[in-house]
Structure 1
Amino acid sequence: MKRIFWFSLILLISSGALLFAGGDKESSSDIDAIRDKGVLVVGLDDSFPPMGFRDESNEIVGFDIDLAKEAAKRLGVKVEFKPVDWDGVILSLNKGDIDVVWNGMSITESRMEKINFSKPYLDNRQIIVVPKGSAIKEKSDLVGKVVGLQMGSSSEVALNNYAEVAASLGDVKKYSNNVEALLDLAAGRTDAVIVDEIVGRYYISKRPGIYQVIGDDFGSETYGVGIRKSDVKLKQELDKVLDEMKADGSADEISQKWFGEAIVKQ
């Protein structure tokens, strides 16, 4: 009888241990998984200056690149930058091909239905860029005109928010990236380009005398890091790290490097 009792007790203890171990495994968080593999995979459009782009040596550099590197260091992991098709970047994130999207991603209602975001870290507007000397001065002057923008971008969303303006256009040309859109504008193949202000003004500064930004725009927004809705712990950790970087001046240092001023949202 004693043998049966002790055998049953051993089985009970063993089963409890297995359940406890299984519970530990299930409760491991998304940030734990990232720390286990030792790398944070960042998805981006690698032709989006100054946020993330390739330099003369084909290295991926930029404002968001430096921010992500510093954040990853504070999270205790390395960082890997993985270029993806921007039009499918949310799909890539939710499939698990990447851990976050960190590339001047505007926080929009339509995106928030599919993914979560970190705290906002930068303000932005959707500006209208035209050739130098253009007669286009405001949105109403775009009637019948050909407008370029990046496919799947917040510029496309911003235009669609102004249904009457969108309907009045002669055509909308969609590009895989903003650089192509602005090159076509310079070549006279479009009349205007809708683009993130931070990106547009950076690109314009590199080609003085070619473009100008009109006073009208398609609205303001903020940038955030795109995160899967299920990755709650990662969002908490990332928000904490971003707050630390703002508080200790690291974010402002990176901002000074790329923009010549401190423009990080506090």
Structure 2
Amino acid sequence: MASLFLAGIMAVSFAACGGTGSSSAASAASASAADSTASAADNTFTVGFDQNFPPMGFKGSDGKFTGFDLDLAAEAAKRMGMAIKYQPISWDAKDAELTSGTIDCIWNGFTISGRENNYTWSKPYMENDQVFVVKADSAVKSLADLKGKTVEVQTDSAAQAALKEKTNISSAFANVQTTADYNTALMDLDMGAVDAVAMDSTVADYKITSGKLKLKILGESIQKEQYGIGFKKGNTALCAKVSKAMDEMKKDGTLTKISKKWFGKDVTTWGKA
């Protein structure tokens, strides 16, 4: 049963590249230039992502990395005149990977909310909700029905952060437990080890639909949020370069084309107020 289930789920300004806090213009420019040369030395744009996070980034049936975010990153790299490198990472080690220079950015359904001051951010490019997923035949029909239940989240995820903040919701649960990735979480749910999984609606929709899983999303969300591209704090140079490529992709319709490939419609919000 578990193996079958697994198969089923298997010309922008620097100011626009966010992050709060300030220093002298000279020192900021110097730091930015230093950071942006990490991969520029070999002309490679290295994107960090969770390989168990479809449709944003994952390993396809052919064994190759694919996904909506990875397609966007590859197109941006091409427009920057750089080679793309997909670097799968452990999600709870993403900050260490970024700080060490192993990756140039985190581009993987990366939620801005709650992390505003931790990275230099691009503009948001997509909206998302944090939601609860339960079995299709579960007696849990609403958020209130989760009282006394066990909920699972991915370690260091936006869902985990949201539940820690929204104690009016999580305090009713019997337990909130963590796991390394959402493939494992949904397997735990399918086997009855947990009552619900808190996760991104974008990923939940894709997994349920593509895998024809007997799961459902509750109508009440935990929070609404936006996805952005996260760079090492202070690396405004690379952020601006990538953002310029994204501006061009928006203008010539490439963002819409890639979105329709993965979602059947344009879900992007790049450049929208």
User: Which residue of 2 is the match for residue 130 of structure 1?
Assistant: 134
* Deviation of the 1:138 alpha carbon: 2.4
Give the corresponding residue for 2:45: 40
Distance in 2 of aligned mates of 1:94 and 1:31: 12
Alignment check: 8 A CA contact 2:153 2:199 kept: yes
Q: In structure 2, how many angstroms separate the alpha carbons of the residues matched to 1:265 and 1:26? A: 30
Q: Which residue of 1 aligns with 2:185?
A: 181
Aligned residues: 241
Give the whole-Å Cα distance in 2 for the aligned partners of 1:29 and 1:152: 28
Gaps of 5+ in 2: 1-29
Deviation at 1:197, TM superposition (A): 0.6
**Whole-angstrom CA distance in 2 between matches of 1:29 and 1:120:** 25
Deviation at 1:265, TM superposition (A): 0.9
SS in 1 for 2:265: coil
Tell me, what secondary structure is at the counterpart of 1:224?
A: strand
Name the SS for the 2:221 alignment partner: strand
Cα deviation code 1:166-194 (max 9, x no counterpart): 22211122111111111111111111111
3-state SS of paired residue (2:220): strand
Aligned-residue offset at 1:116: 1.6
Alpha-carbon contact 2:33-2:235 (below 8 Å) kept: no
Closer/same/farther in 2, CA of residues 155 and 26 from structure 1, 3 Å limit: closer
TM-score normalized by structure 1? Answer: 0.86
Query: 2:154 matched to 1:157?
Result: no
Tell me, in whole angstroms, the C-alpha distance in 2 between the residues paired with 1:85 and 1:209: 25
Per-residue deviation, 1:112: 2.5
Matching of residue 59 in structure 1 with residue 64 in structure 2: yes
Residue of 90, 94, 97 corresponding to 1:89: 94
Q: Tell me, yes or no, if structure 1 residue 254 matches structure 2 residue 258.
A: yes
Asked if 1:70 corresponds to 2:75, the answer is: yes
Structure possessing the higher radius of gyration over alpha carbons:
1
Q: Higher mean Cα deviation, 132-141 or 142-151? A: 132-141
Secondary structure of 1:168's aligned partner: coil
Distance in 1 (alpha carbons) for counterparts of 2:144 and 2:76: 43
2:174 alignment counterpart: 170
CA contact (8 A) 2:31 2:234 kept: no
Separation of aligned partners in 1, 2:198 and 2:174:
15
Using the TM superposition, name which of 35-44 and 149-158 deviates more: 35-44
Aligned counterparts of 2:213 and 2:244: Cα–Cα separation in 1:
42
Residues 107, 229 of structure 2: 8 Å contact kept: yes
Match of 1:208 among 209, 212, 235: 212
Q: Map Cα deviations across residues 114-148 of structure 1 (whole Å, 9 max, x no partner).
A: 21211101100001111112222222221110111
Is the 8 Å Cα contact of residues 142 and 165 (structure 1) preserved in structure 2? no
1:243 to 218, 227, 247: 247
Q: TM-score, normalised by structure 2?
A: 0.83
Paired AA for residue 205 in structure 2: R
Greater relative contact order structure (CA < 8 Å, 6+ sep): 2
Contact map agreement 1:35 1:76 (CA 8 A) in 2: no
SS at match of 1:94: helix
Q: For residue 55 of structure 2, what is the aligned residue in structure 1? A: 50
Q: Alpha-carbon deviations, 1:49-72, whole Å to 9, x = none? A: 111100122211100110000000
For 2:48 and 2:32, how far apart are their aligned partners in 1? 26
RMSD after superposition: 1.8
* Residue deviations 1:78-132 (CA, integer Å, cap 9, x gap): 01111111012122112212110111100023x2232121110110000111111
**Aligned-residue identity in percent:** 37
Where structure 1 has 5 or more consecutive residues not aligned to the other structure, the ranges are: 1-24
With over 3 angstroms needed to count, the CA separation of the structure-2 counterparts of 1:55 and 1:252, relative to structure 1, is same
Which of 232, 237, 242 is the equivalent residue of 1:233? Answer: 237
